[in-house]
Chain A
Amino acid sequence: MHTEEDAAGPEGLVVTEKDGESEQLKAKDAVQYLHCAESLCPETWRCSCLSARSYADFTSEASFEIKKCDTHKLDEAPATQVVMTRDEGLQYYRTMQIMRRMELKADQLYKQKIIRGFCHLYDGQEACAVGIEAAINLSDHLITAYRAHGYTYTRGGTVKEIMAELTGRRGGIAKGKGGSMHMYCKHFYGGNGIVGAQVPLGAGVALACKYQGRNELCVCLYGDGAANQGQIFETYNMAALWKLPVIFICENNRYGMGTSVERAAASTDYFKRGEFIPGLRVDGMDILCVREATRFAADHCRSGKGPILMELQTYRYHGHSMSDPGVSYRTREEIQEVRSKSDPISLLKDRMLSNNMASEIDVEVRKEIEDASLFATTDPEPPLEELCNHIYHNNPTIEVRGTNPWSKLKSLS
């Protein structure tokens, strides 16, 4: 379907947005339309207000003031004056929009029972994933817990693969065998269901990085609920003792499922919980804060100083999972307040608009999400032979005992 818009301005500029091609500016005088996610009409995905400016009028980069981070056992802190280029801004914006729309689409499909099982959505926390990725390389490593769709995307998964994994089809990123909580791709170790269990793994990955001498680091994420697990503290000790290049990141979205942080933790200063590990507390709704802090942390690790801990103060709009309405332990007013004052996509948009980096930008992500959703719904499920594949590594193939002695399936690996 064609969404073509002609807008002629004083210099005779034309904007054309064909589906899926909005990012390709055909002529240097094409105009871009920037939109706040919330003002988009849900049916047509078009904004009602448009205006055109010349491409040449936009600033290519600008300097921004960001919040200072609280520090723990650190003499320096991340910079508070940062530079962002227009291209970077547009890229962050598009990525966050894709993540937001992807999560909302997953919500829709879940309610239609096309996605079943457990589904933990990431909307509201986009700045964390995008900001972290902006400060590290794809050759670095990352591991997180079960709220992983966003990270799967920033680490290189496509929306198609992610959605097909949610619906459990063979085109899914884990061949349909993992589901929402178990998505993986290169240098991204998931996607882990058991709370806190991924943190020692992250330290292990960091050890391997250090051992192999490739100047890579590992970003190891967990939530405010997991911060009370014993294995986290075991990991802090090992990482500090052996000076592992690991960035521990606590995504504090204020609620561990339905329990607010005050009711679960003796100390809610999660950035200080590493005690002997230096820490930073970062505004997780501002992508530039996250990026700057992660850059600081990455420098710290790569210079051989050992681990560092970051607490990202963020918020999730959805409940813990799709079976949690999300309003029995917090008020709708609170959610609305965060949405209106601190939404990461809006914050970035405001920054770009007020610094003349773009005027009204309409990012056409709809087609990508729709295509992915169609693929996810129509792709066939994995064949039954997959049930027993990849339990072990085995050569030659082994037989897996089944429900009866006479029913055995082959396991290829």
Chain B
Amino acid sequence: MLAFRFLRALTLVHRTTPNSSNAARSRRIQRAAFASMAYSAGPRRAWSRALLCRFHFHRARRRCAGRSRTAGVPRRPSTTGSPADGLRRLVPGGTEMDYCSLLEETADYIRCLSKQVKLMQSIVDSVGPGGR
């Protein structure tokens, strides 16, 4: 599932921006990677919700003006478990979770990230050395 989504996004990116710089394209590809990750993870995960909302927010600022992503997520300032602050910054949506669910989300996020990395690596490998 992740592979399909990502490949579609990838091909889309390449198709639509053949003339833009590699850097810009790489940013788009990266965003596509995260988006495909979030979509494949589904709305059940707080981090995927946060990611999706971030994308949608950027996409349609008017609609998501209310930052509705926080609905349903327990909002708590990161006063507890201050060593987890770095983690909160890394995991999308981590600033609004309690420590316990932060760990859970981190685990799921790591799983998805590693899947994404493997997928991208395999794509790069499959393209082979003659890509340029």
Indicate whether A and B interact: no
Interface residues of A (CB under 8 A from B): none
Interface residues of B (CB under 8 A from A): none
